Amino acid sequence: MNKSYAITIRWPVMSPTIHDNPRTGTYTYPRDQDRISRRCWARHKDRAEKQILIPNRGVQKMKEEALPTIDDLRKSPEEFLSRLKAIKGHELYRVLLGVQNELTTGCIVRFLASNEKWKRSRMVLDLGCGPGDLVAKLSGCFIDKLYTGVDLNEDFIATAKQQTKMLSNCTFYQDDIYTFSQGQYNFIILMAVLQHLKIDKFLKHLPFLLDDEGVVLFFDTTKENSIEAHPPLVTFNKFCRRFELMQKLFGVNRNCMAELESKLGAHNFKIIEDQKQIIPITTTVERLQVVQYLLLFCTVAKKMLWIPINFNKILTELLQWYDTPDSRMHLKLQLLLIEKAQSR
Ligand SMILES: C[S@@+](CC[C@H](N)C(=O)[O-])C[C@H]1O[C@@H](n2cnc3c(N)ncnc32)[C@H](O)[C@@H]1O
């Protein structure tokens, strides 16, 4: 009998509040320092401060070169792994987001295509837009709207501008979500950003950005495991548990969607749609993307949170999964649409 096994990886994975200070190019302190024991924090702070981020150069070129085919992985895993290790933290994070978004943004597009609020919206704001993958995709699919992206990270904003430079309906600002105040929007999107935010502070600022009839869409992982694989990825799963622990130590809110739901009422917002999305990994291309994605994820997690890992074991496990004829994988995500409670 076929059985599904759950593995826990919370993705998207990294907290920029820990390691991407765009202004100084260095790591900053986690926002919830007080949750970490002083000794533990001192150890990690020391290591973090030694790592200086390198500006995001040549991302596109590196993206093409870094992602191996299954044959590459089989023939010379060492070469691939050493190539990955050589990529600087920030660039690697961008590549990781790129693969992740290729697997997931289709889900948002399908949701929006049938959403009445979206059809009527003209001004769209992507908060925490990262390198602009979603804006680039949406502006290609829905050309009747004006898109604005905001992110703290200046390298990401530069990439976002670069990848939409031929489009006249996309604007990007390097700014902080909590203080950004350029305009009012009909449709605001946060994709994989909520985990980095203080929810009360964010919900307080949100009405300043939202049109009276406007809505806000959160696209994130569900509270439960976000990937289900068969056959199970035991080694990878173990790695993820360590990663989860480290994320918690650094103040990433792994329960952000539940916390958001519980706080909406107090801030005069209400839920108008709550959809669980299950994305099956079916085509050969998607299966390869997932293998690439999980390897990148491990590399980024190891580099940024210093989690010990046996790459070769994980690679072997992923190749076994890829080669198993009836192997399966599902990504589980949540789409939550909210509006101001008094707006109807
Ligand atoms: C996991 S990434 C997701 C990026 C993008 N939405 C995507 O899915 O490709 C989280 C993003 O949120 C941004 N971010 C986090 N806190 C922020 C803040 N206070 N203001 C602006 N951007 C922020 C980070 O710089 C990062 O690009």
**What are 40-61's pLDDT values in tens digits?**
444 444 443 333 222 233 334 4
Q: Region 118-139: what's the mean pLDDT?
A: 96
Say whether pLDDT at 84 is over 80: no
Q: In the predicted model, is pLDDT for residue 210 greater than 90?
A: yes
User: Residue 269 contacts by C-beta under 8 Å, 6 or more apart in sequence?
Assistant: 203, 206, 216, 338, 339, 340, 341
What's the rounded Cα separation, in Å, for the pair 333 and 222? 5
Residue 131 to residue 314: CA distance in whole angstroms: 28
Which of 12, 24, 55, 13 shows the shortest CA–CA distance to 219?
12
Distance in angstroms (rounded) separating the CA atoms of residues 6 and 226: 8
Q: Residue 189 carries which DSSP code? A: E
Q: Which atom of ligand 1 is nearest to the CA of 131?
A: 9
Atom of ligand 1 nearest to the CA of 22: 25
Cα of 151 vs centre of ligand 1, distance in Å, is: 6
pLDDT of residue 224: 65
Of 80 and 59, the structure prediction assigns the larger pLDDT to: 80
Q: For residue 19, how far is its CA from the centre of ligand 1 (angstroms)?
A: 12
Which residue minimizes the CA distance to atom 26 of ligand 1? 130
Share of the chain above pLDDT 90, in %: 50
Taking CA atoms only, the protein residue closest to ligand 1 atom 16 is: 196
Minimal-distance CA residue to ligand 1 atom 11: 128
Pocket of ligand 1 contains residue 129 by CB under 6 Å: yes
Burial class (CB in 10 A: 0-12, 13-18, 19+), 323: exposed
Domains of the chain: 5-340 (3.40.50.150)
Q: Is 62 in the pocket of ligand 1 (CB under 6 A)?
A: no
Interval between CA 316 and ligand 1 midpoint (Å): 32
Q: How far is the CA of 309 from the centre of ligand 1 (A)?
A: 26
Q: Is 132 in the pocket of ligand 1 (CB under 6 A)?
A: no
Alpha-carbon gap, residue 120 to 113, rounded angstroms: 11
* 334 has a pLDDT exceeding 70: yes
Stated pTM of the model = 0.81
| The pLDDT value given to residue 214 | 97
- Ligand 1: which atom is nearest the Cα of residue 175? 21
Determine the 3-state secondary structure of 74 from DSSP.
helix
Say what the pLDDT of residue 162 is: 93
Place of tokens 């990663």: 243
Distance of CA 61 from the midpoint of ligand 1 (Å): 23
Check residue 13 and give its pLDDT: 36
Closest-CA residue, ligand 1 atom 13, reads 128
pLDDT for the residue numbered 252: 73
Q: How far is the CA of 192 from the centre of ligand 1 (A)?
A: 7
Question: 246-303 pLDDT, tens per residue?
Answer: 877 777 777 889 999 999 999 999 999 999 999 999 998 899 889 988 988 888 888 7
User: What is the pLDDT confidence band of residue 200, given thresholds at 50, 70 and 90?
Assistant: very high
In terms of average pLDDT, the best of 30-34, 87-91, 112-116 is 112-116
Expressed in angstroms and rounded, the spacing between residue 259 Cα and the centre of ligand 1 is 18
Rounded (10°) angle between helices 311-323 and 77-86: 120
Token pair 């909520």 is found at: 194
Q: What is the pLDDT of residue 10?
A: 36
d(CA 69, CA 156): 26
Q: Count other C-beta atoms under 10 Å from residue 183's C-beta.
A: 12
